């Protein structure tokens, strides 16, 4: 029976990949993908919030904090992209399934998504210009979410020679995930002084369920003007619903300070139709004071 399941899964996977690449989008011809459903509503208000975390962060107190903090999208660190388009897994299958089942038992309405990343200078270089590599990555994505995930959070921070490559990759990945009944999300670099093309070239042409805009570059941190400019840019140009990503372990520009920047930008600009919620990077960096500031922040609900 186990052989039969493997054969059936492989056949379905092959059909999905074939469908995606016979129906190109983004830089090539073909229909523009659209979400199969509206963004997931927050149980406490209008927004849905997320957090990036590791399997080792999970505990009963962590689950209490997530539930109390109106966090329903959990991006679990699963692994990194290798140069051949495959995933180097950091955690085994039993850890993944235990994490998902534990979260679901405490928060049935939560969505657990596989977070796989590739940051230039830290991971192996991935050539997104190769159709074969992109096909392999989408196949790997589907194999990953088949482990029980609700969806995928793709954190590819590569700056390709041709922007169409990453646009086509993310849209093809989104099509494949939706065909499999899964959520498609990305983590998109929104550092306006660092790489504005992510906002003005990529974001308007990528159609996923949520684009988590990382409004930080670890060190040095944004000044307020750049943070708000990047926030306005991504919320103005993105074709997808946006989660505003904030860093939580900076001792100078604390989470509370960033919350103030968000509130100022919304108050000055008015409501943004693409603002879907917020995302915290990352759970392990959250201090008690950060949780207090997060829970008392009315904007997130």
Distance of alpha carbon 96 from the chain centroid: 18
| Alpha-carbon distances, residue 111 vs 51, 87, 99, 195, 214 (angstroms) | 11, 21, 12, 30, 20
- Class of the domain covering 2-29+47-300: alpha beta
Q: Cβ(284)–Cβ(251) under 8 Å? A: no
Q: Cβ(155)–Cβ(115) under 8 Å? A: yes
Q: How many CA atoms lie within 13 A of 238 on its CB side?
A: 27
Task: Report H helices in the chain.
Answer: 2-22, 60-68, 93-106, 131-145, 163-179, 197, 224-237, 255-269, 288-295
pLDDT tens for the chain, residues 1 to 301? 333 444 444 544 544 444 444 344 333 333 344 443 444 544 445 899 999 999 999 999 999 999 999 999 999 999 999 999 999 999 999 999 999 999 999 999 999 999 999 987 888 889 999 999 999 999 999 999 999 999 999 999 877 778 899 999 999 999 999 999 999 999 987 654 456 677 888 889 999 999 999 887 654 456 888 889 889 999 999 999 999 999 888 778 899 999 999 999 999 999 999 999 999 999 999 999 999 999 999 999 9
Closest CA to 175 of 276, 39, 34, 40: 34
The DSSP output letter for 196 is T
- C-alpha 169/C-alpha 298 separation (Å) is 36
How many other CB atoms are there within 10 angstroms of residue 277's CB atom? 26
- Residue-wise pLDDT for 78-104, tens only, equals 999 999 999 999 999 999 999 999 999
How many other CB atoms are there within 10 angstroms of residue 117's CB atom? 19
The strand pairing partners of 79, in sequence order, are 89, 116
Q: If DSSP states are collapsed to H, E and C, what string results for 97-148?
A: HHHHHHHHHHCCCCEEEEEEEECECCECCCCCCCHHHHHHHHHHHHHHHCCC
Give me the residue spans of the domains in the chain: 2-29+47-300
Residue 147's contacts (CB-CB under 8 Å, 6 or more residues apart) are 93, 96, 97, 114
Q: Cβ(249)–Cβ(283) under 8 Å? A: no
- C-alpha 295/C-alpha 301 separation (Å) is 10
Question: Dihedrals φ, ψ of 96, to 5°?
Answer: -60, -50
131-145 helix and 2-22 helix, angle to the nearest 10 degrees: 140
Q: What is the pLDDT of residue 195?
A: 63
Q: Is the peptide bond before 163 cis (omega within 30 degrees of 0)?
A: no
- Residue-wise pLDDT for 53-66, tens only, equals 999 999 999 999 99
Closest CA to 211 of 172, 247, 167, 245: 245
The DSSP output letter for 211 is E
């Amino acid at each position: 029976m186990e052989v039969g399941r493997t054969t059936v899964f492989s056949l379905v996977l092959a059909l999905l990949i074939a469908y995606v690449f016979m129906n190109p989008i983004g830089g090539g011809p073909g229909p523009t993908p659209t979400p199969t459903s509206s963004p997931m509503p927050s149980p406490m208000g209008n927004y849905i919030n997320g957090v990036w975390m590791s399997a080792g962060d999970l505990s009963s107190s962590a689950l209490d904090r997530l539930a109390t903090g109106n966090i329903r999208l959990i991006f679990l660190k699963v692994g990194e992209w290798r140069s051949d388009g495959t995933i180097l897994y950091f955690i085994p299958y039993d850890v993944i399934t235990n994490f998902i089942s534990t979260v679901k038992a405490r928060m049935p309405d939560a969505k657990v998504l596989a977070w796989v990343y590739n940051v230039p200078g830290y991971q192996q270089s991935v050539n997104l210009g190769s159709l074969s590599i992109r096909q392999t990555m989408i196949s790997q994505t589907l194999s990953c979410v088949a482990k029980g995930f609700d969806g995928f959070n793709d954190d590819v921070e590569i700056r390709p020679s041709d922007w169409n490559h990453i646009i086509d990759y993310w849209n093809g990945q989104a099509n494949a995930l939706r065909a499999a009944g899964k959520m498609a999300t990305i983590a998109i670099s929104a550092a306006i002084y660092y790489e504005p093309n992510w906002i003005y070239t990529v974001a308007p042409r990528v159609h996923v369920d949520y684009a988590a805009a990382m409004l930080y570059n670890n060190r040095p941190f944004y000044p307020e003007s750049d943070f708000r400019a990047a926030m306005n840019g991504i919320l103005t140009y993105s074709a997808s619903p946006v989660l505003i990503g904030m860093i939580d372990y900076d001792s100078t520009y604390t989470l509370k300070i960033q919350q103030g920047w968000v509130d100022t930008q919304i108050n000055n600009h008015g409501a943004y139709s693409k603002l879907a919620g917020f995302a915290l990077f990352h759970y392990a960096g959250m201090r008690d004071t950060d949780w207090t500031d997060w829970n008392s922040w009315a904007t997130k609900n």
